[in-house]
Amino acid sequence: MAVKKIPQATSFSGIRILPLLLLLSITLTLASCSSSRPKMSAEEQVSVAYRNATELYQKKEYENAAASLEPQLFASRATPLEDDVLFLLAQSYYASKQYLLSSDMYDRLLQQVPSSPYREASRYMLAKSYEQLSPAYERDQEYTRRAIEAFSEYLAEYSLNDAASTARDLDTYSELLKIDPSRASYQRGYEAAKLAMARQDSVKYASAAIPVLHDKLGAATYSIATQYVKLKKYKAAAIYFENVVRNYGDTPWMKKAQSGLVEVQVKRGKWFDARRALDSYLQSYPEDLEEMKDLREEIMRNFSNS
């Protein structure tokens, strides 16, 4: 009778070990490659982030551009890209209507890199950021005042040359560069004339913005005065009317403020002050003499009896 052979148990230990050895070998190889690859320096990381942000900005992905640059603010300090990072970040904030953040970045650039080639643009855009933050005249006017100051500083630093003269300079240096393109003085003259031409629009804008903002301050001050009249706080109202007369005489609020000042001084029974205010009003607006006749008589009568 044939004896059945009992099958030998198959050993799986070798099969289990081989994949583990293979996985370990791959892991060590990758780790070796990774450790042999040099790490980017902080400056290189800033450069990569700046290039990425520039591409995002050009695609009008302003918030993503800002997000790419924000982590590099510290690392970019005292590097050749410091002002590039600050300016692009400021521009990204402004384009995404984050004006408080943009104003902070433009101001930082002016403080940290005062000799930056972005200085002129940053001064102008700082003023525009404040202008965007300027609220309706009924609210606090801190940013309106900042905008006026910033536009004024920009105009003081970057005066506007005669447009026709600047255009002639640009044509002249352009022709001279055709004759001798390598001459440094021609190159500098051409770049200066080109910058002056580009400045025309921004200087005109700043010059036009200041009176509008100044008018808003006059409106805000006059509004406060009328609020005090409604509250029957006539002394406080007089102070604000006088403020309009003293500081905003070139705005449409001047006449209303002078008239209001006369009225509140009458309500206060301050006849000397009322007479003085009315005389000042009629000096400015003599055509209203007949209209103010009765009020003038009342003031003079009470002034005489006081």
What is the architecture of the domain spanning 218-305? Answer: Alpha Horseshoe (1.25)
Arithmetic mean of pLDDT, 71-91 = 93
pTM beyond 0.85, yes or no: no
Give percent above pLDDT 90 in the chain.
Answer: 68
Whole-number pLDDT of residue 41: 78
43-133 and 218-305 share one fold: yes
CATH for 43-133 is 1.25.40.10
Which residue in the block uniquely carries the two structure tokens 């004759």? Answer: 179
pLDDT tens column, 29-46: 555 554 455 677 778 889
pLDDT tens column, 93-137: 999 999 999 999 999 999 999 999 999 999 999 999 999 999 999
User: Per-domain residue ranges for the chain?
Assistant: 43-133, 218-305
- The DSSP code sequence of 155-195 is HHHSPPPPHHHHHHHHHHHHHHHHH-TT-HHHHHHHHHHHH
In our burial notation (b when 16+ CB lie closer than 10 A, e otherwise), range 39-54 reads: eeeeeeebbebbeebe
Q: DSSP code of 123?
A: H
Calculate helix-pair angle for 253-268, 271-284, nearest 10 degrees: 160
Q: Which of these, 235, 233, 237, lies nearest to 224 by C-alpha position?
A: 237
